[in-house]
Structure 1
Amino acid sequence: MANALIISAGNNANEYLARHIAELGYTRPAFAASGGEARRRMDAKDFEVIIINTPLPDEFGHELGMDAVQKTDAGVILLAKTATAEQISDKLQDYGVLVLGKPFTAAQFRQAVQMAAGIFRRLALVRAENAKLQDKLAQLRLVDRAKCFLIEKRGMTEAEAHRLIEKTAMDTRKSRGEVAEDILDAEV
């Protein structure tokens, strides 16, 4: 089930926002009444969508929006009176915070939530791809260290060291990284 956090000081607003995001699959959102409480909730749990209904009792909420974007993978929506939204939207949009002026229609709100959820999913894909690339890079570094070890300690050429690692990986059905680890561990 998707997780949403609604940050708002008003019970009427909480009910309205919860009712509309429930239509999009966020049936049990978490609530926070202040910026401080919201930050604690964001530290404790991951959210797909964070909705900030400004103003909050302890701060306006735009700093919270910037913090949420920087510290979480959530799509962040900031709700503000239209005049205020126009003043802060350029700065917040540079951070990736969606700004929606109040009053808004239910359709506009649902569309903003869908966009925020799309941002979350796209960011999750990018992070997963980044993790795969980081792992691949770490494996390449490990293989290069093993090659250097074979060249320095066993007098092999680079081609011979490369061939040994490749052939051992195929023969033992291990990855080149695992073979490189075995080579480095055996000589410690």
Structure 2
Amino acid sequence: MSAFCILVLSKSEQPTQILRELLPHDTYGSILFSSSIAQARRQLLARRVDLLIIDTPLKEESGIRFANEIAQRSSPGLLVLMNASLYHQLAARMEDAGIPVLAKPISRQALYQSVRLLCTLQQRIRRFEQETLVLQDKMQEIQTINQAKWLLVERYGYSEEQAHRHLLKQAMDRCVTKYAIAQQIVNKDKQGGSL
């Protein structure tokens, strides 16, 4: 696991102190504290945060509303701590929104295990996001190459096989990828130029 950054939003620094004591510093290098949503927003903008823990209730603002706002994003991971009385009223609705909730009082061990579990899940999500980006890039390449082939077929009378060979030959001759050649063909066509 790479070093995780955890942000604790709470009216008390106690959850932050507990996490700093329990979690290994080499894996959980940054455990930050915020006492207000405004301060938490600034910290979220300033750096990558892997897990946001919202310890409700907050002093002046609704931690539940903020949790719902954060849940709409893909990052960071989220954990809400709430009083047992509210837990029974809100937990199912929050979990339906993808927000894990723990009832307070919570044991140190339960907090520790929950944070470790959520960070592990965040690691997997991050890996899937990277794989998705790679697949999206590959799909973009395939679309551009196909678009260039069809331009060669429609505008220059190439057969599909000739268009494919043309892209390959140009790529080999210029020591670039087929995708780079396809991009040049598509861009020239957009600008009204010819090959």
Q: TM-score, normalised by structure 2?
A: 0.84
2-structure distance, mates of 1:46, 1:27: 13
Alignment of 1:2-151 (within 5 A): 2-22=4-24, 25-151=27-153
Quick check: 2:7–2:53 contact (8 Å CA) kept in 1?
A: yes
Give the letter aligned to residue 17 of structure 2.
Answer: E
Partner of 2:154: 152
Distance 1:85 1:28, change over 3 A: same
Give the letter aligned to residue 20 of structure 1.
Answer: L
In the TM superposition, what is the alpha-carbon distance from 1:181 to its structure 2 partner?
2.0
In the TM superposition, what is the alpha-carbon distance from 1:99 to its structure 2 partner?
0.5
SS at match of 2:106: coil
Distance 1:18 1:87, change over 3 A: farther
Matched length: 188
In the TM superposition, what is the alpha-carbon distance from 1:44 to its structure 2 partner?
2.2
Q: Deviations over 1:128-165 (max 9, x none)?
A: 11111111111112112211221123211122212322
Give the letter aligned to residue 105 of structure 2.
Answer: P
In the TM superposition, what is the alpha-carbon distance from 1:7 to its structure 2 partner?
0.4
* Higher mean C-alpha deviation, range 123-132 or range 163-172: 163-172
Distance 1:71 1:185, change over 3 A: closer
SS at match of 2:72: helix
Distance 1:80 1:122, change over 3 A: same
In the TM superposition, what is the alpha-carbon distance from 1:17 to its structure 2 partner?
3.9
* Higher mean C-alpha deviation, range 177-186 or range 164-173: 164-173
Q: TM-score, normalised by structure 1?
A: 0.87
Q: Deviations over 1:60-90 (max 9, x none)?
A: 3111112222235122111111121122111
Gaps of 5+ in 1: none
1-structure distance, mates of 2:94, 2:171: 50
Q: RMSD between aligned alpha carbons?
A: 2.2
Give the letter aligned to residue 67 of structure 1.
Answer: E
SS at match of 2:79: strand
